[in-house]
Amino acid sequence: MTESISKVAERAGQFFMGQSPIHQAMLRLTKALGEMKIPFAIAGAMAANAHGHRRTTADIDILIRDEDLQKFKQQYIGRGWINKFEGSKNFRDAVCAVDIDALIVGRYPGDGLPKPVAFPEPERVWEVKEDGIPFVSLKTLLELKLASGMTAPHRPRDFDDVIQLVRANDLPQDYAETLEPYVAEKFGELWQAAQISDEH
């Protein structure tokens, strides 16, 4: 059954006011991981929102070490959080009904194969933005999105996110020089695309 347009609009309104189940799930996760002193950072679409690209999403991506993820799961699976399925690294906030995807430090975005861009240690790349929630830095987010889009053709949204982040942050063309060289040329292409206006 599809939702009515008014219901979708209401959910989007809650989302952009920071009152959606996604926001509640981020706060719950931040509290639980904080109490365990486990470093993590929010990546993906919610980090894009924190850096000015306003878009809705249905799940949360977190950057976390594998051993810390296992510690969290040992303590909290069955206590408000559940595994997506047996053996999955991903899990679900059963209270807020929100899926949480774990990006494991040292593994690779996109196709998962080795490349110069890997998921970094969260405490090296976080910027605490709001409500004490740590988000990955803009530079890290762009590198991960670019590396993902370059090696996973089924994820075109990653490139769109980069274009929108360039616009939202008014990034200069030479921002490419701050990025991992592996993704710098693709950033340049998408930077050019970001300069094209939709108004004709």
- Residue-wise pLDDT for 98-114, tens only, equals 999 999 999 999 999 99
Residues shown for the chain: 200
pLDDT single digits (tens) 133-176: 999 999 999 999 999 999 999 998 999 999 999 999 999 999 99
Angle between helices 21-35 and 66-76 (to 10 degrees): 100
Domain annotation covers residue 200:
no
How do residues 16-63 score in pLDDT, each as one tens digit?
Answer: 555 678 889 999 999 999 999 999 999 999 999 999 998 877 899 999
Number of domains observed in the structure of the chain: 1
**32 is a domain residue:** yes
188 lies in a domain? yes
Structural domain that includes position 189 = 5-194
The CATH number linked to 109 is 3.30.460.40
Q: Over pLDDT 70: what percentage of the chain? A: 90
Residue 65 in this model has a pLDDT that exceeds 90: yes
The torsion angle over the Cα atoms of residues 136, 74, 87 and 23, rounded to 10 degrees, is -40
Q: What is the pLDDT of residues 71-81, one digit of tens each?
A: 999 999 999 99
